[in-house]
Amino acid sequence: MLDPARPALVLAPMDGVTDAPMRALQGAAGAYTYAVSEFLRVSQTVPPKSAFYRRVPELLTAGRTATGMPVQVQLLGGDAGLMAESAARAHELGAAAIDINFGCPAPTVNRHDGGATLLKYPARIRAIVRAVRAAVPVAIPVSAKLRLGWDCADSVYENAEMAAEGGATWLTVHARTRTAGYAPPVFWGHVGRVRERLGIPVVANGDIWTLADFRRCREETGCRHFMLGRGGLADPHLPRQVAAELGLTAAPNVPHGHDWSAYLRNLVALTPARDGVRPEQAVGPLKQWLRLAAGRGTFARFDSVKRARSVEELFAALDSPA
* pLDDT, tens digit, 9 for 90 and up, residues 167-209: 999 999 999 999 999 999 999 999 999 999 998 999 999 999 9
pTM: 0.95
Domain boundary among 245, 275, 298: 245
Kindly state whether residue 33 falls inside one of the protein's structural domains.
yes
Kindly state whether residue 229 falls inside one of the protein's structural domains.
yes
Q: How many domains does the chain have?
A: 2
Whether the predicted pLDDT of 118 surpasses 70: yes
Q: Measure the CA–CA gap between 84 and 127, rounded to whole angstroms.
A: 10
Whether the predicted pLDDT of 281 surpasses 80: no
Predicted pLDDT of residue 322: 65
Please tell me whether residues 269 and 241 are part of one structural domain: no
Please tell me whether residues 90 and 176 are part of one structural domain: yes
Kindly state whether residue 144 falls inside one of the protein's structural domains.
yes
Q: Which amino acid would we find at residue 209?
A: W
Between residues 137 and 271, the one the model is more confident about: 137
Kindly state whether residue 302 falls inside one of the protein's structural domains.
yes
Please tell me whether residues 293 and 181 are part of one structural domain: no
The DSSP element (H or E) to which 98 belongs, if any, is strand 98-102
- Mean pLDDT across the chain, nearest whole number? 94
Kindly state whether residue 253 falls inside one of the protein's structural domains.
no
For 61-92, the pLDDT digits (tens) are 999 999 999 999 999 999 999 999 999 999 99
Please tell me whether residues 135 and 171 are part of one structural domain: yes
Between residues 29 and 275, the one the model is more confident about: 29
Whether the predicted pLDDT of 163 surpasses 80: yes
Whether the predicted pLDDT of 135 surpasses 90: yes
**How sure is the predictor about 262, in pLDDT bands with cuts at 50, 70 and 90?**
very high
Strand blocks (E) in 110-221: 142-149, 170-177, 202-205
Please tell me whether residues 168 and 110 are part of one structural domain: yes
**Where does 93-172 have alpha helices with state H?**
107-111, 122-135, 155-166
Please tell me whether residues 191 and 241 are part of one structural domain: yes
Predicted pLDDT of residue 268: 92
- Other C-beta atoms within 10 Å of 199: how many? 6
Domain boundary among 186, 221, 245: 245
Instruction: Tell me, yes or no, if 104 is annotated catalytic.
Output: yes
Between residues 228 and 273, the one the model is more confident about: 228
The DSSP element (H or E) to which 101 belongs, if any, is strand 98-102
Kind of pairing between the strands at 8-11 and 225-228: parallel
Please tell me whether residues 239 and 277 are part of one structural domain: no
Kindly state whether residue 220 falls inside one of the protein's structural domains.
yes
Whether the predicted pLDDT of 117 surpasses 90: yes
What's the whole-number mean pLDDT along residues 267-278? 79
Please tell me whether residues 187 and 315 are part of one structural domain: no
Choice among 104, 152, 217, 223 that is catalytic: 104
Please tell me whether residues 207 and 301 are part of one structural domain: no
Predicted pLDDT of residue 272: 85
The answer to whether the CB of 219 falls within 8 A of the CB of 211 is: no
If you write DSSP's letter for every residue of 14-83 in order, what string do you get?
-TTTS-HHHHHHHHTTS--SEEEPPPEE-SSSPPPHHHHHHH-GGGGGTTB-TTS-BEEEEEE-S-HHHH
Please tell me whether residues 32 and 127 are part of one structural domain: yes
Domain boundary among 217, 245, 273: 245
Please tell me whether residues 144 and 277 are part of one structural domain: no
Please tell me whether residues 202 and 314 are part of one structural domain: no
Range(s) of the domain holding residue 223: 8-245
Between residues 22 and 16, the one the model is more confident about: 22
Angle at the Cα of 15 from the Cα atoms of 162 and 124, rounded to 5 degrees: 20
Predicted pLDDT of residue 252: 86
Q: How far is CA 93 from the centre of its chain?
A: 21
Kindly state whether residue 2 falls inside one of the protein's structural domains.
no
